[in-house]
Amino acid sequence: QQQVKQSPQSLIVQKGGIPIINCAYENTAFDYFPWYQQFPGKGPALLIAIRPDVSEKKEGRFTISFNKSAKQFSLHIMDSQPGDSATYFCAATPYTDKLIFGTGTRLQVFP
Amino acid sequence: DTGVSQNPRHKITKRGQNVTFRCDPISEHNRLYWYRQTLGQGPEFLTYFQNEAQLEKSRLLSDRFSAERPKGSFSTLEIQRTEQGDSAMYLCASSSIQGTSNYFSYNEQFFGPGTRLTVL
């Protein structure tokens, strides 16, 4: 119940493509869902986050879609760039608690 | 730089030795978290503090691990009698929890660059 399942494990797109990363959870106590971006040798950086009272949140080229009934959420990266090549982690938490991370998706964007 | 800082950035040690890592959170953040990340995996929670109080410890944190946050500012994570399985990136994060017992602000956690531990 504490797991967050993330897919795919890796993703390769061309510049301008729209990679989509999916996550699913079981614990209905989770009510805060952030996405983190991590470059090699660096700590994760908060990208965008959503709460279950909204179905979509957009910040720049990054959009989270949230389906509360299906307990699924996804990250869309519009007009992807080579600089977006990184590992992306979804996470979930019951609001003020520790983060439970997915296993990560390695994204490569080719020019 | 006002972000989370961690020292050292890299540590190589021999099996059986003790190591200590330090984390300086964002100023005035009252929560501080430690996570461990192994290659190809997401960070796993180890423990967290609210001010100087250690509120939760993961079962991953064996009795060889100890963490402190004296005076509610910086924190240290010590691993005694290191084993090769302890090789990982140790990440620190901080956040600001504000509000009453009935309502809290979002728990946005900001991570430091990590300390990479290699146990030979």
Spatial CB neighbours of A51, under 8 Å, sequence gap ≥ 6: A31, A32, A33, B106
Contact B43 A100 (CB under 8 A): no
Scanning every residue of chain A, which has its alpha carbon at the shortest distance from the alpha carbon of B57? A98
Judged by a CB distance cut-off of 8 A, whether residue A19 touches chain B is no
Q: Given a cut of 90, is residue A85 above it in pLDDT? A: yes
- The average pLDDT across A82-90 equals 97
The SS3 call for residue B71 is: helix
CB within 8 Å of chain B, chain A residues 29-68: 32, 34, 36, 41-46, 49, 51
- The average pLDDT across A81-105 equals 92
Contact call for residues B58 and B47 (beta carbons, < 8 A): yes
Could you list the mean pLDDT of each consecutive 10-residue stretch along chain B, which spans 120 residues?
90 98 93 94 94 88 92 94 96 81 63 96
The size of the A-B interface in CB pairs under 8 A is 61
The SS3 call for residue B85 is: helix
Contact A95 B43 (CB under 8 A): no
Report how far residue A66's alpha carbon sits from residue A70's, in angstroms, rounded to the nearest whole number: 9
Q: What is the mean pLDDT of chain A?
A: 93
The pLDDT of residue A1 is 59
Contact B108 A34 (CB under 8 A): yes
Judged by a CB distance cut-off of 8 A, whether residue B72 touches chain A is no
